[in-house]
Chains A and B, each alone.
Chain A
Amino acid sequence: MTRPYLLFVLPAVALVGLMFLLPLGWLAALSFGLPESFGLEHYEAIVTSPGIRSMLWTTLRLVTITTLVSLVLGYLVAFAMAHLGETQRLMLTLFVLVPFWLSVLARALAWLILLRHNGLLNEALTGAGLVERPLQLVRNELGVIIGMVHFLIPYAVFPLFAAMTTVDRRLVMAARSVGARPWRAFTDVYVPVTLPAIFGAGVLVFIFGLGFYVTPAILGGGRVVMLSEYISVSVLQTLRWAQAGALSMVLLLSVIALVWLVARAIGFRRLAGVG
């Protein structure tokens, strides 16, 4: 009975195979120097080249900081959303979602106009005499983190919010009834219950963060070069496709490893939000 319907997914499978898996295999082959030769020198370069190492370190550092900040802020927003009245919840959801729909480019430029040294915020601060000289908020790593956190917060908020709505409120009440202060009930009961969601949201934000391109390029002032941009330059400008392939494979495998890790820890169905 079901067999004829299996045919219906064939085009989709063929599409993914032809337009995604096939090029991916080609990319993997390229990264080993094929078809001209076979070698691991492009993978070796990832470990030995000081330039690539420092770029990878910048990427990891910024993505980690971004993930942590996004989780803390996202947790607060999700907590508020889960425990506010219906109207306020709707308002908050809207505030989180509306920027989510804006293009990443528009958002980066908006931050630039707001935060640059002759931007709105600095003009207001210096005008009011609060600071002597403009604060350096963009065109550096801080700017990249601000832009990335702003982009990634929804990815932290929604899984956390989904988890919080399923938390059994009686658990907190039970903790209170045996004498726990509100803060203690929160840290010892509420947070542990939402821990898998925190972990899942963290990995989600981290994975998205690894692939950022536009935000660091615009808000970093040119001095913050992250993985995606490095790959793009190698592909489009310097024609080092094998090196770009090796870096892409490393990115892909790290993402797969992360997803696998979460799937092991909290279950894939829960990670995908279908559990």
Chain B
Amino acid sequence: MASRFTDDLIDIARRELARGRMDRRDFVRLCLGAGIAPAVAGSGILTASEAAAAAQEIVLCNFGGDAVRAMGEAWGEPFTADTGVPVVVDGGVPLAGKIKAMVESGNVVWDVCDGDGFLCDQLGKQGLLDEVDYAIVDKAKLPQGWAYDHGIANYTYSFVLAYDTSLFPDRAPTLKDFFDTETYPGFRTMWKYQMGAMEACLLGDGVPPEELYPADIDRAIAKARSLGDNVIYWESGASSQEMMMSGEAVMGIIWNTRASVLERDTGGRVSWTWDEGLYCHSSFVMPKGHKADPAATNRFLDSVLDPARQIRLLELLGNGPTNPAAAAMLPEELVRLDPGHPSNVARQVTRSETWYEEHYDEAVERWLDGISG
């Protein structure tokens, strides 16, 4: 029944597409939504003019949720207003595996993908990404090292220590307190997929910040296991937020974007500290052979670095600017929320992109093995 319905849907869509009443990319999305491979469903129906039309828009893929609307508003709409090129935001979760699969299949639907900074070099060296054209993108808008060959730093974020203020009414906890379940009973939560959690374990175990990398994964796992049954690992940002919101967990190493929303939504019952946080940056990359006109895509990347637009994203989503010029323009009330503001960066440890580029795969795998079973 269901499959007959989707077949029918695809059939109608195919006819709409042939008559030019439907955009090819909408068609691809529809096929994906219906669980049908667009490579097969869409073969042989793309005329040259349709291909040209498809090249006239940019498909931006990010991790979904509020980020779809926020990136559309902060980056997509102003870019379209400037250039007339539409930006479609797709919350399709562009994990490295999906980018690889898309590039290798030869049917690249995404033009710009959101991903961690170290992925620029990691995937770039595997030949999965297009190079950034720094004749169009202004390198000067980025700090040293954040303008990669195969991507640009688009926003900053942090893993921060969030806590229930009923347990810490006078001061913020430290990572030492985080691992002290005797004095401060209750569940803790960390990300299941290693990042941020590993660093918190090492810092909590007394590793000096400057010696954090190269990271001793086994030492981190031992520290994590010392929490015994007092730890719940969060799967998604939403679940970390829900655990702190409901009081199931009393402390958590979570994303700053979730921490600030929690503080707002709980009226201050849950708060967070930048101290001992892990400061990271994300990036925009272009999958190799992406369909949009590279001049347009690169122009879009340059527009992403506009400080006013980055501040708008901070307002909407809690992700900070990567353009250092933004700090001076920041309204007072946003300073506390910006992971990349110099006053907040000073209190945190910065993630080593070079370490992650080389060790991410191994680290995630060993971490998962270590915390489970």
Contacts and interface: CB of A to CB of B under 8 A. Distances in A.
A54 B373 contact: yes
A224 B372 contact: yes
A140 B372 CA distance: 10
A216 to B, nearest CB: 10
B335 interface: no
Contact of A236 (B98, B232, B233, B360): B98
Contacts of A116: 248
B165 to A, nearest CB: 17
A171 interface: no
Interface in B2-52: 37, 40
10 contacts: A54-B369, A140-B229, A222-B232, A223-B373, A225-B372, A230-B368, A234-B365, A237-B364, A239-B100, A240-B365
B232 A118 contact: no
Interface of A: 18-19, 50-52, 54-55, 57-58, 116-118, 136, 139-140, 217-218, 221-225, 230, 233-241
Nearest to A224: B372
A52 B40 CA distance: 35
Given A18-B40, A233-B364, A238-B364, A51 B369 contact: yes
A115 B95 CA distance: 32
Contacts of A239: 96-97, 100, 361
Contacts of B96: 236-237, 239
Nearest to B122: A239
B200 to A, nearest CB: 15
Contact of B368 (A233, A236, A240, A241): A233
B247 interface: yes
A217 B235 CA distance: 7
B192 interface: yes
Contacts of B247: 118
B40 A236 contact: no
Contacts of A51: 365-366, 368-369
B371 interface: yes
Contacts of B98: 236
A63 to B, nearest CB: 15
A116 B245 CA distance: 14
Contact of A19 (B40, B100, B248): B40
The 9 closest A-B pairs by CB, nearest first: A222-B233, A51-B369, A236-B97, A238-B361, A225-B372, A222-B192, A54-B373, A236-B95, A221-B232
A234 B365 CA distance: 8
Nearest to A139: B232
Interface of B: 37, 40, 95-98, 100, 187, 192-193, 229, 231-235, 239, 246-248, 360-361, 364-366, 368-369, 371-373
A223 B364 contact: no
Contacts of B192: 222
A237 B119 CA distance: 11
A116 B371 CA distance: 20
Given A237-B95, A239-B100, A225 B37 contact: no
Given A54-B372, A118-B248, A136-B229, 4 more contacts: A117-B248, A222-B231, A222-B233, A222-B235
A238 B40 contact: no
B97 A50 contact: no
A240 B235 contact: no
B4 to A, nearest CB: 13
Nearest to A119: B248
A225 B232 contact: no
Contacts of A54: 369, 372-373
Nearest to A240: B361
Contacts of A58: 372-373
B150 to A, nearest CB: 16
A240 B100 CA distance: 11
A136 B95 CA distance: 34
B348 to A, nearest CB: 24
Contacts of A235: 97
A55 B372 contact: yes
A205 to B, nearest CB: 23
A52 B193 CA distance: 16
A52 to B, nearest CB: 8
A225 B229 contact: no
B369 A222 contact: no
B202 to A, nearest CB: 19
A225 B97 contact: no
A217 B368 CA distance: 12
Contacts of B369: 50-52, 54-55
B228 to A, nearest CB: 10
Contacts of B364: 233, 237-238
B113 to A, nearest CB: 13
Residue from A50, A222, A224, A233 having most chain B Cβ neighbours under 10 A: A222
